[in-house]
């Protein structure tokens, strides 16, 4: 059913095809500029040497950029027909889903990697607490995995990349931004519920430097749920 | 080798494939022939595991596709219509990737790639991106994709669609070549293609098999029937014409127009031309044309797959 070796081949292939097109490099540039600008535009106002704000912004930026990376994962293959080619070779649907999932996560981590420069620079400015920063980066992996799985699910719904993008964007922005904004206008008994589901809330804890297993497992659970839905969706396509 | 039992496929309420049965033996080169929308691609997609049948079973090497979908796929080399391969990959990388996921052992991969590149004539384009290839080369790459893991069965959906005449001939030659060692099932809506490459034809129309047999066999059954086309000028109506020409076992159809076109098909009988001629002579019709239609697979196909609009 699940063949790890084949999954890795698919991951490699997908990751390479991200970098085959110039879009990947443009994407990474825009991503880094947006993130850097949003972070440093406020950084000097507080006169505090920490990256908490960086990790507060991160979910919002990711909610906008990950759908653009994941939208093509299946939608493009459906519309070009290459999905038929790959799915009739001896790989299972699960190999394909997991392979693509890993590839998109790795791509996002590569895009995020240059931001390591920030703490490296900040160290020279003063006494920087590296614990929360390390925690933040570890937490980011799980945040990215949840958002990627949502994007993949959206991509498996449609032949159109635009439709996939909009679906993924709606879900991710709701979870990463809207729920947080809604908190002030929600009746108090619902606030806990919002806190439970809100990505920004969950990741806020991580940004503070609290790497809570409950938050991590929430992101893992979201990933598993959407990967499962993607898988089901692909299996349903066989019925025609 | 391939056995299909009561294979049925519904798309919602639409019946695309209606409980078909056939068996393909080892080494046969079979053409699945039918007009567009007849259910060829649907049948092929069920054989290759891309679609799940609504009903019925498929056995490949006596193993049910339902039970061992992944294992079955490794027996089959399949390429869909117009070879939708990954456009951004270089041919060599693409073949290597496919070899990996098709279980070709690592130490044999280079050898297999060399083999398929030579067999499919891809030497010139090996370092080009798939998306930059001409249709002919793309199709060759598709064929290379389908044989890289040395499968026993080759399934090709419209392998020559969209190619120019020279490329068509090249691809046909290649398929013939591959057919020497493999069981091949190819679909087509072009008769000459099936006639040229296949030893056996399955004709499918509206989801049903309407004919199945060797190319010669089919032609023979068909040539037992004769068809005459008569064009006359007359004021008589269809009913009257049919009555005047009444011949035992014959099927008569009349098409209106400035001249009435009468088509008579009937089992081969001696001197039937004379009978028809005498009958016409008795009328006041003016005869413009009286000919016997040439027999070919083309006509058989037309006969089997077209609605008889004139009757």
DSSP codes joined into one string, B71-121: HHHHHEEEE-TT----TTSBHHHHHHHHHHHTT--GGGHHHHHHHHHHHTT
Nearest-Cα distance to chain B for A7, in Å, is 9
Nearest-Cα distance to chain B for A120, in Å, is 37
**B88: which chain A residues are within 8 Å (Cβ-Cβ)?**
17, 20-21
Per the CB < 8 Å rule, is B100 touching A17?
Answer: no
Taking residues B106-134, report their average pLDDT: 91
At B223 the pLDDT is 64
At B272 the pLDDT is 81
At B238 the pLDDT is 83
At B261 the pLDDT is 86
**A24: which chain B residues are within 8 Å (Cβ-Cβ)?**
none
Per the CB < 8 Å rule, is A89 touching B101?
Answer: yes
Per the CB < 8 Å rule, is A91 touching B52?
Answer: no
Per the CB < 8 Å rule, is A88 touching B73?
Answer: yes
CB atoms near residue B248 (< 10 Å)? 8
Q: Which residues pair with A168 in a beta bridge?
A: none
Report the residue of B70, B71, B157 to disrupt the A interface, i.e. the one with the largest count of A CBs within 10 Å.
Answer: B70
Residue B74 confidence (pLDDT) above 60 = yes
> How large is the ipTM?
0.88
B11 contacts chain A (CB < 8 A): yes
Taking residues B177-202, report their average pLDDT: 86
Per the CB < 8 Å rule, is A90 touching B102?
Answer: yes
At B308 the pLDDT is 44
| DSSP code string of A156-176 | TT-S-HHHHHHHHHHHHHIII
At B309 the pLDDT is 41
Mean of the per-residue pLDDT values of chain B = 85
CA distance B102 to A143: 33
Of A57-71, B18-32, B251-265, give the lowest mean pLDDT range.
B251-265
Of A220-224, B264-268, B286-290, give the lowest mean pLDDT range.
B264-268
Of A106-120, B112-126, B200-214, B285-299, give the lowest mean pLDDT range.
B285-299
Residue with tokens 């390479």: A16
Taking residues B181-208, report their average pLDDT: 86
At A145 the pLDDT is 96
Residues in chain A whose beta carbon is closer than 8 A to a beta carbon of chain B?
A: 1, 6, 9-10, 13, 16-17, 20-21, 80-82, 84-92, 95, 238-240
Per-residue pLDDT band for B248 (boundaries 50, 70, 90) equals: confident
Taking residues B121-134, report their average pLDDT: 91
pLDDT < 50: residue spans in chain A: none
Report the residue of A15, A88, A238 to disrupt the B interface, i.e. the one with the largest count of B CBs within 10 Å.
Answer: A88
Closest alpha carbon within chain B to A239: B52
Per the CB < 8 Å rule, is B89 touching A239?
Answer: no
B97 contacts chain A (CB < 8 A): yes
Closest alpha carbon within chain A to B78: A88
Residue B311 confidence (pLDDT) above 50 = no
Nearest-Cα distance to chain B for A117, in Å, is 32
Inter-residue long-range contacts of B17-22, CB under 8 Å, 24+ positions, other chains counted: B17/B42, B17/B43, B17/B46, B17/B53, B17/B207, B18/B206, B18/B207, B18/B208, B19/B55, B19/B56, B20/B56, B20/B204, B20/B207, B20/B208, B20/B209, B21/B209, B22/B202, B22/B209, B22/B212
Q: How many CA atoms, within 13 angstroms, populate the side-chain half-sphere of residue B136?
A: 16
Query: How deeply is B294 buried, as exposed, middle or buried, from its count of CB atoms within 10 A (0-12, 13-18, 19+)?
Result: exposed
Size of interface A-B (CB pairs under 8 A): 75
Report the residue of B101, B130, B156 to disrupt the A interface, i.e. the one with the largest count of A CBs within 10 Å.
Answer: B101
CA distance B183 to B24: 8
Nearest-Cα distance to chain A for B66, in Å, is 12
CA distance B47 to B73: 9
Per the CB < 8 Å rule, is B76 touching A88?
Answer: yes
Residue with tokens 């970098």: A19
Q: Which parts of A126-239 fold into alpha helices (H)?
A: 130-155, 161-173, 179-182, 188-197, 199-208, 213-237
């Amino acid at each position: 059913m699940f063949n790890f070796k084949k999954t890795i081949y698919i991951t490699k292939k997908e990751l390479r095809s991200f970098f085959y097109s110039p879009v990947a490099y443009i994407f990474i540039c825009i991503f880094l500029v947006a993130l850097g600008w949003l972070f440093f535009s406020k950084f000097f106002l507080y006169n505090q040497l920490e990256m908490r704000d960086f990790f507060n912004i991160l979910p919002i930026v990711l909610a906008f950029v990950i759908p653009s990376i994941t939208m093509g994962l299946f939608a493009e293959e459906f519309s070009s027909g290459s999905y038929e080619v790959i799915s009739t070779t001896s790989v299972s649907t699960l190999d394909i889903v997991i392979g693509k999932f890993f590839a998109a996560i790795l791509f996002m981590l590569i895009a995020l990697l240059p931001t390591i420069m920030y703490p490296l620079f900040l160290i020279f400015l003063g006494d920087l607490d590296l614990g929360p920063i390390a925690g933040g980066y570890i937490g980011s992996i799980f945040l990215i995995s949840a958002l990627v799985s949502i994007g993949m699910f959206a991509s498996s719904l449609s032949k159109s990349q635009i439709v996939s993008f909009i679906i993924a964007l709606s879900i991710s922005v709701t979870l990463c931004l809207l729920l947080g904004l809604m908190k002030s206008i929600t009746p108090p008994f619902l606030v806990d519920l919002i806190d439970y589901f809100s990505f920004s809330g969950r990741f806020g804890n991580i940004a503070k430097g609290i790497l809570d297993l409950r938050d991590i497992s929430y992101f893992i659970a979201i990933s598993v749920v959407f990967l499962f839905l993607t898988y089901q969706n692909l299996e349903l396509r066989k019925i025609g | 080798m391939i056995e299909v039992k009561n294979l049925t496929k519904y798309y919602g309420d639409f019946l695309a494939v209606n409980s078909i049965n056939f068996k393909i033996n080892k080494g046969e080169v079979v053409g699945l022939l039918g007009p567009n929308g007849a259910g060829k691609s649907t049948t092929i997609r069920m054989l290759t595991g891309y679609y799940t049948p609504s009903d019925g079973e498929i056995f490949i090497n006596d193993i049910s596709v339902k039970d061992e979908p992944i294992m079955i796929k490794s027996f089959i080399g399949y390429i869909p219509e117009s070879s939708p391969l990954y456009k951004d990959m270089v041919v060599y990388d693409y073949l290597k990737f496919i070899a990996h996921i098709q279980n070709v052992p690592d130490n044999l991969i280079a050898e297999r790639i060399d083999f398929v590149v030579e067999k499919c004539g891809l030497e010139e384009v090996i370092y080009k991106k798939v998306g930059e290839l001409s249709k002919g080369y793309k199709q060759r790459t598709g064929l290379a994709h389908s044989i890289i893991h040395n499968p026993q069965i080759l399934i090709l959906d419209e392998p020559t669609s969209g190619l120019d005449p020279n490329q068509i001939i090249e691809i046909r030659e290649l398929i013939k070549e591959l057919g020497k060692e493999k069981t091949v099932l190819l679909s087509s809506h072009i008769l000459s293609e099936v006639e040229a490459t296949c030893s056996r034809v399955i004709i499918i129309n509206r989801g049903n098999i309407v004919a199945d047999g060797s190319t010669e066999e089919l032609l023979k059954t068909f040539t037992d029937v004769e068809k005459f086309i008569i064009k006359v000028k007359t004021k008589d109506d269809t009913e009257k014409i049919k009555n005047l020409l009444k011949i035992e076992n014959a099927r008569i159809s009349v098409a209106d127009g400035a001249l009435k076109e009468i088509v008579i098909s009937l089992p081969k009988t001696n001197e039937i031309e004379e009978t028809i001629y005498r009958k016409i002579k008795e009328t006041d019709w003016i005869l413009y044309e009286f000919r016997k239609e040439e027999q070919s697979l083309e006509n058989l196909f037309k006969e089997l797959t077209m609605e008889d609009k004139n009757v």
